[in-house]
Structure 1
Amino acid sequence: MLLDLTLRREMSRNFGGAFTVLFTVVITLMLIRILGQASDGQASPQDVFLLIGLTALSYLQIVITLSLFLAVLLTFTRMWLDSEMTIWRTTGVGQLRLMGSVLRFSWPILLLIAALTLFAWPWANQQSTALRTRFEQRSDISRVAPGQFRESASGKRVFFIDKGAQAGGVAHDIFIRDETSGQTVLITARSAQVQRIEGQPFLVLRNGNRYAHTPGQVNYTITSFDSLDMRLDVTSGLSNMADHKAGPVNWLTQPNRNVPTAYLFNPAIPNWLGELSWRLGVPLSAALLALLALPLSSGSVRTGRAGSLIGAILVYLIYFNLLNVLQGWISEGRVGFSAGFLLVHGGAALFLALLMLKGSGWLRRLWPGRTRAGAPA
């Protein structure tokens, strides 16, 4: 039909424009944040672009949901302002027909949002956590960025490297402050390299000096050395991570966002039910928001494009904040899963029904005594 074809073309164009702008903003923010983490030694510089991709994938469903909402809103706002909607209404096109057109356009996008939320979201979070954990489980010296002071995993050592590791893993001009032995030890060396000695990681320092001092005493010990071996701080899981061996995962110890969706259907774990309510709520809210955009756009006749857009974005923000609030309530046991889910999404559906009734004139027929402001009773 002509109406469906017209709506599909315009909503597709608006969806593409909104998605491009929003996704660019998200990628830019992720790039700034992750580059900051890499410069602070919280993430590996080699994994920056991979982390950006995984982070963007984990938030892609939110971007697509907002893009779909804006696509429907902008399309019908333009039609109301240009009086096209008035013409279609006079030809007998009702709100239910328009809702059908919106759903026919939206259903592939809604399936994509559901797949991203239920499957891609936990997978991307798992991969991001694995990358960060692998970086944290590296040896002390490998986490140090050249030209910056960094603490060791135990917090009892401070490293400084003037020149980063070159071929063969050799770093140059090393400074170390060590308090692991109860003494304050300062070590300087021309070069250093991480080596495994009897299966344990050691930092082999060459051509340097060692200055040891016991707090509260006046004695100092100064030692020159050609080679000095220092054992590095590592976690117990370093060997498995290095060998890429993955044992059975205890999901109870993992963040809720990392747990696969199939495991979340467990009424004995409120935190998992809270996460499940969010994952199921995102695609459902996307569908309801796409339909809500239809009656919300009709207000543009009185308030203009800007007023309609501001009101619609406010509805979007309230709805998504309610999803996060519901997740917290269920996780804390304040409300049951079914009751909370029905409260938030049922309330949104009721709000949609009221807006549709108002637009169709049913509310005026239900209260025929209502008059316009200033009109005689």
Structure 2
Amino acid sequence: MSILDRYLTREIAKPLFIFCGGLLLLFANFTAIRYLNQVADGVMPAQSVLPLVLVRATVALEILLPIALHLSIVVTLGRLYTDSEITALFGSGVSPTRIIRIVFAGSLVVAGIVACLSIYARPWANQTRYRLEHQAVTDIDLNDMKPGHFYENSSGTVLFFQHRDQSSGRMQKVFIQSRSGDLVRLIRAEEGYYPGPVETSAGQTLVCSGAQIYEISRDQGRVRHAASDGLVLEWEKSHAPSEEFKRKAAPTWQLARSDSPKDIAEFQWRLSTPVAAFLMGLLGFPLGRAKARQGKYAKLFVSVLCYVIFYNLNMMARTWVAQGAVSAVPGIWWVHLLLGVLVAGLLWRGITHP
């Protein structure tokens, strides 16, 4: 590697780490706030926050790395243009193709990292995330719940109570809603309590005294009423993984063999993220061209706008494939094809009109 290659690579790498670190820190901060709110509501233990933030950040890296690479190339080349370094390089015989080759190599390396994250780390991180979230739910029992909050378990049952007696720990003015098909069950009880310890991941027994039970059939419009002074309910904590969980946490090779439109969309998304990282890196070269009076950050708004448009189109194409509106071919690849044509045209213009 020549001195010029090392210099440009180093200049691109410095803002890459800054942008990626800053974006990752912002994402981790917002994610932590979301989980800390759940801790404050009493639906998640505090020790689950850090592991969940780390696995969520792992998944986010496949999105943050491409935009960080794109912005770092634009900022670096913008500075070189405004400082007349590019002009000096062209004057000394360095061709635009040489600089494009350096950007090409750097984009290829980042695309390889994104491919590993998307194909291998993404399903592992999602598997770990859902396991940690489920474990966090099972670690919260009824005695940890706070009055004035709505709690929903995995079966869709909603629990609310207004007060808790400080001496006995019993819940007072309890409201419970559950659904089974077209039947809605409403329970209003004077008191509710959790009689004893249970095994982790098992159901918890909730005893309601002074309970009024209403069963409403939405199809037939009938209402049934009953009363009980010692109603016993099961607050189910364990649950089976959802289809979305299975798809996001599934190994890539398993998705490749599936004929389901949603699985195809997830599989193509995983394969497309490194392609997107590579193309966004190359797009940074033509967008990094700046005049002396523009400044090195002159094209940042255009760069961010380009990425937002591409990302939204990619998400839209993914949704169409998942819904079956678009077949596996062209799938989501038409968005990358359009970007590839745009990048190729801009690079050709940059070579012929440096």
Same fold (TM over 0.5): yes
SS at match of 1:59: helix
SS in 2 for 1:172: coil
**Please, which of 166, 184, 187 is the counterpart of residue 191 of structure 2?**
187
CA contact 1:161–1:172 (8 Å) conserved in 2: no
Larger radius of gyration: 1
Superposed displacement of residue 294, structure 1:
0.7
> Post-superposition shift, 1:118?
1.1
- 1:291 maps to which residue? 282
- 1:16-165 matches, within 5 Å, as 16-136=17-137, 141=142, 144-151=144-151, 153=153, 155=157, 157-159=159-161, 162=164
* Pick aligned residue for 2:236 from 234, 237, 240: 234
**How far did residue 103 of structure 1 move?**
3.0
Q: Secondary structure at the match of 1:273?
A: helix
Deviation of 1:287 (Å): 0.8
Identity %, equivalent residues: 23
Corresponding residue of 2:262: 271
**Separation in 1, partners of 2:276, 2:158:** 49
Aligned counterparts of 1:3 and 1:345: Cα–Cα separation in 2:
31
Whose relative contact order is higher, 1 or 2, with alpha carbons under 8 Å and at least 6 apart? 2
Change (3 A) 1:337 1:195: closer
Q: What is the CA deviation profile of residues 96-117 of structure 1, one whole-angstrom value per residue up to 9, with x for unaligned ones?
A: 2112212333443322211111
Please report how far the alpha carbon of residue 186 of structure 1 lies from its aligned counterpart in structure 2 after TM superposition. 0.9
- 1:271 alignment partner AA: K
The superposition leaves residues 176-202 of structure 1 with CA deviations (integer Å, 9 ceiling, x where unpaired) of: 52669987431277x953347xx9743
**Alignment of 1:202 onto 2:199:** no
2:76–2:296 Cα contact (<8 Å) kept: no
Q: 1:161 to 1:266 in 2, by over 3 A?
A: farther
With 323-332 and 155-164 compared, the bigger mean Cα shift is at 155-164
- What 5-or-longer segments of structure 2 have no aligned partner? 178-184, 215-222
Partner of 2:344: 353
Aligned-pair CA distance for 1:253: 6.4
Structure 1 equivalent of residue 182 of structure 2: none
Partner residue of 2:316? 325
Q: TM-score, normalised by structure 1?
A: 0.74
SS in 1 for 2:298: helix
Letter in 2 for 1:272: D
Match of 1:373 in 2: none
Name the SS of the counterpart of 2:160 in structure 1. strand
Q: Could you say which residue in structure 1 is the equivalent of 2:7? A: 6
CA shift for structure 1 position 85: 0.7
| 8 Å CA contact retained: 2:158, 2:176 | yes
SS in structure 2 opposite 1:335? coil
Root-mean-square deviation (Å): 3.7
- 1:183 and 1:340 map into 2 onto residues whose CA distance is 48
Q: How many residues matched?
A: 332
- AA partner of residue 360 (structure 1): I
| Gap change, CA 1:261 and 1:302, over 3 Å in 2 | farther
